[in-house]
């Protein structure tokens, strides 16, 4: 079978509002690929605050659970670095 008949891989995306800080984090990627990106949605328009990119699904999910307890200032600091 040639490669042209392969189904494109399903993209997964989601968003979660972190209750403690009020920050909304969105993420998207492809299962089993390291193309995941996570970013802050309600940051400023000029700079989209990216928390992680080109990372694995596991990294993004563990990042999300770590962000649950952080205040907004610390999350934005994390995004800039």
pLDDT at 25: 93
Domain of 15 in residue numbering reads as 7-80
Assigned domain for 1 exists: no
Mean pLDDT of 5-33: 90
User: CB under 8 Å to 75, separation ≥6 — which residues?
Assistant: 18, 21, 23, 40, 51, 67
User: How many folded domains does the chain comprise?
Assistant: 1
Estimate to the nearest angstrom the gap between the alpha carbon of 61 and the chain centroid. Answer: 8
Over residues 26-63, the pLDDT tens digits come to 999 999 999 999 999 876 665 678 999 999 999 999 99
Q: Which of 8, 60, 51 is nearest to 29 (CA)?
A: 60
Assigned domain for 39 exists: yes
Assigned domain for 24 exists: yes
Assigned domain for 59 exists: yes
pLDDT band, residue 9 (cuts 50/70/90): confident
Torsion sign over Cα 57, 63, 65, 67: negative
């Amino acid at each position: 079978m040639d490669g042209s008949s392969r189904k494109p891989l399903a993209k997964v995306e989601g968003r979660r509002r972190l209750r403690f800080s009020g920050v909304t984090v969105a993420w998207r990627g492809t299962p089993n690929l390291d193309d995941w990106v996570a970013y802050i949605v309600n940051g400023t328009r000029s700079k989209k605050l990216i928390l992680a990119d080109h990372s694995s699904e596991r990294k993004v999910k563990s990042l999300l659970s770590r962000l649950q307890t952080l205040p907004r200032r610390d999350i934005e600091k994390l995004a800039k670095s």
